């Protein structure tokens, strides 16, 4: 096999200049090492190797400009965490509070299990689940026979139950696969064939006239239209928060701002994890760490895949802009590999959404948006809606797909460590597959821990929060009489009341950052982007949480909104001035210092 | 649900709302002034710098002082105030207003006429092309102003300002005085966006550098802003490769323009002009929905507060005439934007207008010296005014008195232009 791989390598890189080495492990995993001229080469090579016969998966340790995707232990944090000691103990430790981790937590909360979820972000849904197009794919864009295909179709069907139990916004209105001319004439047919093989229900070709009747905003007439009625739309963040809230209601403990930096394994058995805040003991670790799942696997001593970040940029437009309600492909779709992206649709809240594109990057935390990203997104979408301009974009953001080189989901019990389950490589259609993934992991958990017994008092219902602007005047009146905070409109772009913001802060997963509040109630997401309501939201967070102004964050540890108060600065200046000009005795200086502290 | 009846409902109590409510009250109408916050004066309350009221009061007042002159008169008047009350919708046919407040719950207000005076809002990061990440520390100048002047917070420590509009210039000085290091003001256009006096008083006096034809291209920082990349632009405003410079800062202040706030106007079915971004208005400041009027920055973004107050009084007079059944009813003449006119208010005129005077407000496309601003109907000059210079930043007012208005005939459109 090594010979075959070396040939492959020589086809991609000039090995005299760039000595790239492939090692084949006993378990069929290929490790690639060496320096490559550019990241595109590394990506193409690793994908080709993954396609070779008998290769289980690929670990990519190739480096480019001194950067690589190899796991480097965070020694300081491991030491710090161990020194802090144990702060929690559970049967099941779930790493990552995205839609996968939260979905698994909620599924397992049915049983008599003590469960903790560890999340390094300051809210749930901070990674992959945050920035996606919210599409519940029907299952006709995945390669038949893959785990992805199976779980996509199953997951899609399970969404009705999730939506009715968890009460998130859910629209099952279908999607289209279009061809515009000869060049892309196969696009709908590929969807048709894959869909048939994957057993996607209800799929059919419809006439362009019927299509144009369904989507009145579309300005071009396609040649052929494939309609998949089971496609649905959600807000990925809302689904995740609903799952997490319901899990928390049923006893799951969520630790936010808690980064797992090591996994404790003794004699092949998992004992717990080390975090930057201390250690957590547990019998089973479920690795749902999104784009970092390969690193968590490495910590457990069972890395057999590399997750290569694939960035996708999405553009959001004002609700008033024209655009189709259902997802459909633009044109560049047919020319770009490894993506189903690049379409046009509308979010569940009604904003036209274009994108995402797909760019292989080396830095898993690079969420920057570049001009060329929007060039692609606009180029693709303007085929469907030529009237929409780049200046109409109200927000653009990037998300990262956690792809392995097999481009399939990895959901299995560890073959080397007892008490460790991999849930990795959950890229698109991961959101659609999430309910099926949760069920599959439920089965794997029973395999690990033995038979699970059900709780008597499990409550599957998570009540929808109040949305003031959507109530009738009578209901609004009743609500304001009960709680006057609902009569105080804080965000005027989206008509959000103070009551709704306070609710978000007080729910089972408290929203205490600007972005957490934005994703729950849409305050600061409107046209003024927080210009008017930002200062008022800051006050509300401070009042409800007791935080000081500089402790209120947007998202992330250092994302303070304001640097402090003007008063602090003057008090500090006063102290210095008094000390300098009068040269007073120590006692008085201390007093001034105390004054500064209390201010 | 509480139901209130009134002659004129004024929405917003900034300079426009205050002036409109007072004028309508002076003319003997029952007026209800609806304000969403618990203070009167709107954005004036955070504008603690001076320079307000030079035309109207011949004095350099601060924003709160300017507001106070109106608020005192208002308190002595019989205008009813609905404070802490947010308008949720305006139904256009019957001008029925639905509003909510913590104290009163949901209110239904049934006015004879409505004056929209919601002001304007700032353009945000999403309306200018800035790439990169989405950290905290990118805010509009007005938000920074509010944090510093009203809330007493320090929004950052090292600031870069994008855009040389008036609020940006004023905040450059304000931040400098509060000990924030202001690294520079960057302006995409080759010309400064704010008033000349502000360039001197706010930048030059404090050695704050101004960089024209330069913009912020990208921001850095995953959590808090860590820096920006600025780049020079050519005459077509495209970045010039190789002129990029990275600046470490934790605050990017955007002063990139204002847009009339017309969420409610749209809900009320009012036609919005693509030129002013405000409602299409006639000579009486009436929108396309009869009985709904617009005042101040809702109609067009003014430069001076004095004009805001004037336009609001005109709107109030229009509303009073409407209620009295004296609204002009002739077919409106269009007022066409001629040479070097970028935006204009109003854009319609009815020859049976009975007001004593009428002001046209316009902004130019480019700076020109020794010009004449002229309103014509066909070959006839109705009114003109010589000006030594016209600038992008400064609004031009052309006021017609009764005898000028008498020259306008029915049939032919009017046009207004800058003659060199």
CA angle A485, A486, A492 (to 5 degrees): 105
Does B178 lie in the same domain as B266?
no
Q: What is the largest CA-CA distance in chain B?
A: 65
Nearest C-alpha neighbor of B410 from the set B327, B331, B328, B345: B331
Does B336 lie in the same domain as B321?
no
Final residue before a domain boundary, out of B204, B232, B256 = B256
CB burial of residue A53 (10 Å; 0-12, 13-18, 19+): exposed
- Look-up: residue for tokens 């009846």? B5
pLDDT of residue A336: 52
Which distant-in-sequence residues (6+ apart) come within 8 Å of B96 by Cβ? B90, B108, B109, B110
Cα dist from B312 to A24, A491, B21, B47, B295, whole Å: 79, 26, 9, 20, 4
Cβ-based contacts of A559 with chain B (< 8 Å): 135-136, 223-224
In a domain, residue A28? The reply is yes
Task: Answer yes or no: do A531 and B122 touch at CB < 8 A.
Answer: yes
- Helix, strand, or coil here: B147? helix
Does A419 lie in the same domain as A534?
no
Q: Is the CB of B142 inside 8 Å of chain A's CB atoms?
A: yes
Does A229 lie in the same domain as A148?
yes
Task: Answer yes or no: do A529 and B133 touch at CB < 8 A.
Answer: no
* Smallest Cα distance from A381 to chain B, Å: 18
CA dihedral B317, B319, B321, B326 (to 10 degrees): 140
- Give the C-alpha separation, A319 to A131, whole Å: 19
What's the pTM value of the predicted model, to 2 decimals?
Answer: 0.90
Q: Which CATH number is B402's domain given? A: 2.60.40
Q: Chains A and B: how many Cβ contacts under 8 Å?
A: 139
Tell me which of A12, A47, A137, A308 is the catalytic residue.
A137
- Give the C-alpha separation, B33 to B77, whole Å: 12
Does B244 lie in the same domain as B137?
yes
Does A248 lie in the same domain as A318?
no
Nearest C-alpha neighbor of B166 from the set B333, B42, B52: B52
Three-class secondary structure assignment of B34-102 = ECCCCCCCHHHHHCCCEEECCCCCCCCEEHHHHHHHHHHHHHHCCCEEECCCEEEEEECCCCEEEEEEC
For helices A236-249 and A147-166, the axis angle rounded to 10 degrees is: 70
**Phi, psi dihedral angles at B2 (to 5 degrees):** -80, 135
Q: What is the count of structural domains for chain A?
A: 5
Task: Answer yes or no: do A529 and B88 touch at CB < 8 A.
Answer: no
Final residue before a domain boundary, out of B327, B354, B374 = B327
Range of the domain at B418: 330-420
Does B191 lie in the same domain as B287?
no
Q: Which CATH number is A90's domain given? A: 3.50.50.60
At B184-243, the pLDDT tens digits run 999 999 989 888 889 999 999 999 999 999 999 999 999 999 999 999 999 999 999 999
Residues β-bridged to residue A353: A316, A345
Cβ-based contacts of B168 with chain A (< 8 Å): none
> What's the rounded mean pLDDT across residues B51-58?
94
Q: Is the CB of B102 inside 8 Å of chain A's CB atoms?
A: yes
Does A367 lie in the same domain as A334?
yes
Cβ-based contacts of A538 with chain B (< 8 Å): 151, 153
Does A120 lie in the same domain as A201?
no
**Phi, psi dihedral angles at A295 (to 5 degrees):** -75, -40
In a domain, residue A180? The reply is yes
Residue A522 has pLDDT above 60, yes or no: yes
- Give the C-alpha separation, A283 to A272, whole Å: 7
Residue A341 has pLDDT above 70, yes or no: no
Does B131 lie in the same domain as B215?
yes
- Give the C-alpha separation, A439 to A459, whole Å: 17
A52's tokens: 């070779």
- Helix, strand, or coil here: A195? helix
Confidence category of residue A591, pLDDT binned at 50, 70, 90: very low
Q: Is the CB of B342 inside 8 Å of chain A's CB atoms?
A: no
CA count, 13 A, side-chain hemisphere, B257: 14
- Give the C-alpha separation, B253 to B168, whole Å: 7
Does A417 lie in the same domain as A389?
no
> What's the rounded mean pLDDT across residues A348-366?
92
Does B340 lie in the same domain as B310?
no
Q: Is the CB of B104 inside 8 Å of chain A's CB atoms?
A: yes
Q: Which CATH number is B38's domain given? A: 3.50.50.60
At A391-432, the pLDDT tens digits run 888 889 999 999 999 999 999 999 999 999 999 999 999 999
Does A434 lie in the same domain as A417?
yes
Find residues 225-254 of chain B whose CB sits inside 8 Å of chain A. 250
Cβ-based contacts of B135 with chain A (< 8 Å): 554, 559
Range of the domain at A60: 2-68
User: Annotated catalytic, A595?
Assistant: no
Final residue before a domain boundary, out of B299, B327, B355 = B327
CB A134 within 8 A of CB A429: no
Q: What is the count of structural domains for chain B?
A: 3
Cβ-based contacts of A556 with chain B (< 8 Å): 222-223
- ipTM confidence score: 0.94
Share of chain B above pLDDT 90, in %: 91
Nearest C-alpha neighbor of B334 from the set B398, B400, B275, B282: B282
- Helix, strand, or coil here: A380? helix
At B66-120, the pLDDT tens digits run 999 999 999 999 999 999 999 999 987 778 999 999 999 999 999 999 999 999 9
Q: Which CATH number is A219's domain given? A: 3.30.9.10
* Smallest Cα distance from A566 to chain B, Å: 5
Does A333 lie in the same domain as A206?
yes
């Amino acid at each position: 096999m090594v010979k075959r791989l070396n040939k492959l390598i020589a086809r991609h890189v000039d090995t005299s200049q760039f000595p790239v080495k492939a090692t084949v492990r006993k378990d069929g995993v290929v490790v690639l090492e060496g320096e490559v001229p550019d990241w595109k080469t590394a990506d193409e090579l690793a994908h080709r190797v993954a396609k070779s016969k008998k290769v289980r998966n690929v670990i990519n340790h190739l480096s480019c400009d001194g950067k690589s995707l190899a796991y480097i232990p965070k020694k300081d944090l491991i030491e710090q965490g161990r020194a802090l000691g144990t702060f929690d103990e559970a049967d099941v430790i779930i790493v990552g509070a995205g839609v996968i981790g939260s979905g698994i937590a909620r599924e397992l909360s049915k049983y008599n299990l003590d469960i903790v979820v560890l999340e390094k972000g300051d809210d749930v849904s901070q990674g992959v689940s945050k920035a996606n197009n919210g599409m519940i794919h029907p299952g006709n864009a995945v390669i038949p026979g893959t785990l992805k295909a199976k779980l996509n179709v199953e997951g899609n069907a399970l969404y009705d139950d999730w939506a009715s139990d968890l009460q998130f916004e859910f629209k099952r209105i279908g999607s289209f696969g279009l061809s515009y001319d000869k060049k892309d004439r196969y696009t709908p047919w590929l969807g048709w064939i894959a869909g048939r093989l994957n057993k996607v229900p209800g799929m059919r070709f419809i006439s362009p006239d019927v299509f144009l009747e369904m989507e009145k905003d579309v300005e071009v007439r396609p040649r052929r239209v494939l309609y998949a009625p089971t496609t649905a739309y959600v807000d990925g963040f809302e689904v995740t928060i609903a799952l997490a809230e319901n899990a928390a209601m049923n006893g799951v403990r969520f630790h936010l701002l808690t980064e797992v930096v090591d996994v404790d394994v003794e004699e092949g058995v998992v004992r717990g994890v080390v975090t930057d805040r201390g250690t957590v003991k547990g019998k089973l670790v479920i690795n749902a760490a999104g784009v970092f799942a390969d690193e968590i696997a490495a910590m457990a001593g069972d890395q057999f895949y590399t997750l290569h970040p694939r960035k996708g940029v999405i553009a959001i437009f004002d609700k008033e802009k024209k655009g189709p309600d259902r997802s459909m492909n633009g044109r560049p779709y047919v020319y770009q590999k490894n993506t189903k992206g690049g379409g046009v649709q509308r979010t569940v809240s009604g904003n036209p959404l274009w994108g995402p594109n797909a760019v292989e990057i080396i830095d898993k935390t690079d969420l920057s948006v570049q001009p060329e990203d929007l060039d692609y997104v606009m180029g693709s979408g303007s085929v469907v809606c030529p009237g929409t301009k780049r200046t109409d974009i109200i927000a653009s953001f990037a998300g990262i797909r956690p792809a392995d080189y097999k481009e399939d989901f990895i959901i299995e019990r560890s073959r080397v460590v007892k008490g460790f389950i991999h849930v990795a490589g959950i890229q698109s259609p991961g959101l659609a597959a999430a309910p099926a993934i949760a069920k599959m992991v439920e089965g794997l958990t029973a395999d690990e821990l033995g038979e699970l017994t059900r709780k008597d008092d499990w409550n599957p219902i998570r009540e929808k929060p109040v949305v003031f602007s959507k109530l009738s005047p009578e209901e609004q009146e009743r609500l304001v009489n009960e709680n006057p905070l609902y009569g105080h409109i804080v965000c005027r772009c989206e008509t959000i009341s103070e009551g709704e913001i306070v609710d978000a802060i007080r729910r089972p997963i408290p929203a205490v950052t600007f972005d957490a509040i934005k994703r729950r109630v849409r305050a600061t997401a409107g046209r003024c982007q927080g210009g008017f309501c930002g200062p008022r939201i800051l006050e509300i967070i401070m009042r409800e949480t007791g935080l000081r102004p500089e402790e209120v964050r947007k998202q992330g540890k250092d994302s303070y909104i304001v640097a402090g108060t003007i008063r602090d600065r003057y008090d500090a200046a006063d102290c210095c001035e008094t000390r300098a000009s009068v040269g007073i005795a120590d006692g008085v200086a201390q007093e001034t210092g105390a004054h500064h502290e209390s201010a | 649900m509480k139901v209130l009846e009134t002659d004129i409902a004024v929405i917003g109590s900034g300079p426009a709302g205050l002036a409109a409510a007072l004028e309508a009250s002076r003319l003997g109408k029952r007026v209800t002034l609806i304000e969403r916050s618990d203070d009167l004066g709107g954005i004036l309350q955070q504008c603690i710098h001076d320079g307000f009221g030079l035309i109207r009061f011949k004095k350099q007042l601060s924003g709160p002082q300017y507001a106070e002159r109106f608020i005192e008169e208002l308190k002595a008047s019989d205008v009813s105030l609905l404070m802490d009350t947010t308008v949720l919708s305006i139904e256009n046919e019957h001008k029925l207003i639905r509003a909510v407040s913590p104290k009163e719950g949901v209110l239904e207000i049934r006015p004879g006429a409505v004056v929209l005076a919601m002001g304007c809002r700032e353009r945000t990061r999403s309306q200018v092309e800035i790439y990169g990440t989405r950290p905290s520390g990118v805010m509009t100048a007005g938000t920074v102003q509010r944090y510093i002047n009203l809330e007493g917070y320090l929004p950052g420590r090292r600031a870069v300002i994008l855009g040389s509009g008036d609020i940006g210039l004023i905040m450059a000085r304000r931040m400098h005085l509060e000990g924030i290091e202001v690294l520079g003001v960057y302006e995409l256009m080759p010309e400064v966006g704010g008033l000349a006096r502000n360039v001197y008083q706010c930048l030059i006096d404090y050695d704050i550098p101004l960089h024209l034809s330069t913009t912020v291209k990208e921001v850095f920082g995953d959590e808090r802003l860590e820096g920006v990349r600025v780049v020079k632009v050519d005459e077509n405003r495209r970045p010039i490769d190789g002129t990029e410079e990275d600046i470490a800062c934790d605050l990017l202040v955007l002063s990139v323009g204002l847009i009339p706030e017309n969420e409610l106007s749209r809900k009320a079915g009012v036609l919005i002009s693509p030129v002013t971004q405000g409602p299409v208005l006639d000579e009486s400041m009436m929108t396309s929905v009869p009985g709904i009027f617009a005042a101040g920055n809702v109609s067009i973004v003014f430069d001076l507060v004095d004009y805001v107050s004037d336009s609001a009084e005109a709107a109030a007079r229009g509303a009073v005439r409407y209620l009295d059944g004296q609204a002009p009813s002739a077919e409106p003449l269009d007022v066409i934007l001629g040479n070097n006119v970028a935006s204009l208010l109003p854009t319609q005129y009815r020859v049976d207008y009975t007001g004593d005077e009428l002001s046209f407000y316009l902004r130019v496309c480019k700076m020109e010296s020794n010009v004449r601003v002229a309103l014509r109907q066909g070959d006839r000059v109705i009114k003109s005014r010589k000006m030594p210079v016209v600038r992008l930043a400064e609004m031009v007012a052309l006021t017609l008195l009764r005898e000028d208005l008498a020259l306008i005939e029915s049939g032919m459109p009017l046009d207004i232009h800058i003659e060199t």
